[in-house]
């Protein structure tokens, strides 16, 4: 570890290795946690907020340090975030007023002009030109989020003070491997959540003189399946150009329940951006998935928690497998002469 003024660098000898845990979630979090015991060392005394710890070649800044005293033992519980997140506290206070056309490079150059020490690298084909309105007056992190959404950046991946912005094709990698339940995967959880469904969005003109009558953009198949679920309306105060309004409304839609896929894997050769195939033979589920979060305790075996991407196709694959399983149960009961009413869920397609 290293002191904030960089004058002192020492190894931490009193680390409880069983508590070391790293968390990396795409475009969201990148941190390390551990517990250390008081060994009267300089390193232990330096385990305090805003000092640096290093793990696996990456620098993390201590953000929480909790003293614990129990049974005569003094410990520190440490949570440190990747040095990239120091950009949360840096700002671009200037604003480029109005609608300004940018390339991703020119947007990054303007956003990051007040800071030093970080470099930004674009990986993949992200060379389109986009218009940003009143860009600036924001934290560097929020500005990067705006750039990511505007230029279709798939993953922002820090490597110490180098910040890489990847296109989807540059970030993902099909490794042609399987997460196979009860083989190399000991535990699988599929969590469905219908509270996020949006299948109807209103578009309105907010001009003093309305430019068009309010109208709805709907996904009729989703409404048929799940009922009407309204989302936040789209407001346009400039013109009545219908196509962009409809596109904005459709972008707000979530037409099927969300599905969170989490697996516990028995191997450590799993990396962010990898594309695997998840196989659950018990229920007939086979679906392509991408690794988007890894929680690892590297000194405890068979304890890596991997979260897989949530796409419509993942939901359709699991939903249709469950429907097929339900239909088979009905057939089996009918053949046995068992007669009772059972609700049935119809098959859904990717267009629905």
Q: Note whether residue 10 is domain-resident.
A: no
Question: Where does a domain end: 52, 85, 118?
Answer: 85
The answer on pLDDT for 342 being more than 70 is no
**Do 291 and 181 share a structural domain?**
yes
The answer on pLDDT for 107 being more than 70 is yes
**Do 304 and 263 share a structural domain?**
yes
Q: Note whether residue 5 is domain-resident.
A: no
Q: How much of the chain exceeds pLDDT 90, in percent?
A: 67
Q: Which residues contact 306 (CB under 8 A, 6 or more apart)?
A: 179, 262, 263, 264, 265, 270, 291, 293, 294, 295
Q: Note whether residue 148 is domain-resident.
A: yes
**Do 179 and 166 share a structural domain?**
no
**Do 180 and 317 share a structural domain?**
yes
Mean pLDDT is lowest, of 43-52, 103-112, 313-322, for 313-322
Give, in order, the Cα–Cα distances in Å from 41 to each of 13, 16, 69, 76, 317: 8, 15, 17, 13, 55
**Do 37 and 149 share a structural domain?**
no
Q: Note whether residue 327 is domain-resident.
A: yes
> What is the structure's pLDDT at 144?
95
For the stretch 175-200, pLDDT in tens is 999 999 988 898 999 888 899 899 99
Mean of pLDDT over the chain: 87
**Do 179 and 322 share a structural domain?**
yes
Confidence class for position 129, pLDDT limits 50, 70, 90: very high
> What is the structure's pLDDT at 322?
53
Q: How much of the chain exceeds pLDDT 70, in percent?
A: 88
Confidence class for position 340, pLDDT limits 50, 70, 90: very low
Question: Where does a domain end: 70, 85, 100?
Answer: 85
> What is the structure's pLDDT at 347?
41
**Do 62 and 36 share a structural domain?**
yes
Q: Note whether residue 113 is domain-resident.
A: yes
The answer on pLDDT for 81 being more than 80 is yes
**Do 29 and 138 share a structural domain?**
no
Q: Note whether residue 293 is domain-resident.
A: yes
Q: Note whether residue 1 is domain-resident.
A: no
Domain range enclosing 282: 173-193+257-333
For the stretch 224-251, pLDDT in tens is 999 999 999 999 887 777 888 899 899 8
Q: Note whether residue 345 is domain-resident.
A: no
**Do 185 and 296 share a structural domain?**
yes
**Do 216 and 314 share a structural domain?**
no
**Do 329 and 262 share a structural domain?**
yes
> What is the structure's pLDDT at 243?
87
The answer on pLDDT for 313 being more than 60 is no
Question: Where does a domain end: 85, 113, 130?
Answer: 85
**Do 116 and 47 share a structural domain?**
no
For the stretch 134-189, pLDDT in tens is 999 999 999 999 999 899 999 999 999 999 999 999 999 999 999 999 888 989 99
Task: Please return the burial class of 131, using the count of CB atoms within 10 Å of its CB with bins 0-12, 13-18 and 19+.
Answer: exposed
For the stretch 247-282, pLDDT in tens is 989 989 999 888 888 999 877 789 999 999 999 888
> What is the structure's pLDDT at 80?
97
Confidence class for position 343, pLDDT limits 50, 70, 90: very low
The answer on pLDDT for 103 being more than 70 is yes
- Tally of structural domains, the chain: 4
């Amino acid at each position: 570890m290293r002191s904030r003024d960089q004058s002192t660098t020492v190894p931490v000898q009193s680390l409880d290795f069983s508590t070391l845990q790293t968390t990396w979630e795409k475009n969201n979090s990148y941190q390390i946690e551990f517990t250390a015991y008081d060994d009267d060392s300089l390193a232990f005394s330096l385990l305090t907020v805003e000092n640096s710890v290093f793990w696996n070649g990456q620098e993390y800044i201590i953000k929480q340090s909790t003293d614990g005293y129990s049974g005569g033992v003094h410990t520190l519980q440490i949570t440190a975030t990747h040095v990239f997140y120091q950009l949360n506290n840096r700002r671009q206070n200037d604003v480029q007023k109005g609608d300004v056309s940018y390339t991703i490079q020119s947007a990054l150059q303007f956003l990051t002009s007040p800071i030093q020490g970080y470099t930004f690298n674009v990986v993949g084909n992200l060379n389109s030109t986009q218009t940003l309105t009143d860009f600036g007056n924001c934290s560097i992190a929020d500005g990067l989020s705006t750039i990511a959404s505007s230029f279709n950046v798939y993953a922002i991946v820090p490597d110490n003070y180098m910040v890489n912005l990847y296109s989807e094709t540059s970030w993902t990698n099909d490794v042609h491997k399987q997460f196979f339940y009860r083989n190399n995967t000991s535990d699988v959880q599929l969590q469905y959540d219908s509270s996020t469904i949006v299948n109807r969005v209103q578009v309105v003109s907010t001009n003093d003189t309305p430019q068009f009558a309010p109208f709805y953009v709907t996904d009729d198949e989703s409404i048929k399946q799940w009922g009407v679920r309204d989302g936040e309306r789209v407001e346009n105060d400039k013109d009545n150009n219908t196509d962009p309004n409809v596109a904005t409304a459709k972008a707000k839609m979530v037409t099927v329940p969300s599905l969170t896929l989490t697996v516990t894997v028995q191997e450590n050769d799993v990396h962010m951006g990898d594309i695997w195939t998840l196989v659950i033979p018990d229920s007939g589920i086979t679906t392509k998935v991408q690794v988007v979060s890894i929680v690892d305790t590297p000194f405890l075996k068979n304890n890596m928690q991997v979260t897989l991407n949530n796409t419509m196709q993942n939901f359709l694959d699991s939903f249709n497998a469950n429907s097929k399983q339900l239909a088979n149960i009905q057939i089996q009961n009918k053949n046995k002469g068992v007669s009772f009413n059972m609700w049935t869920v119809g098959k859904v397609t990717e267009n629905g």
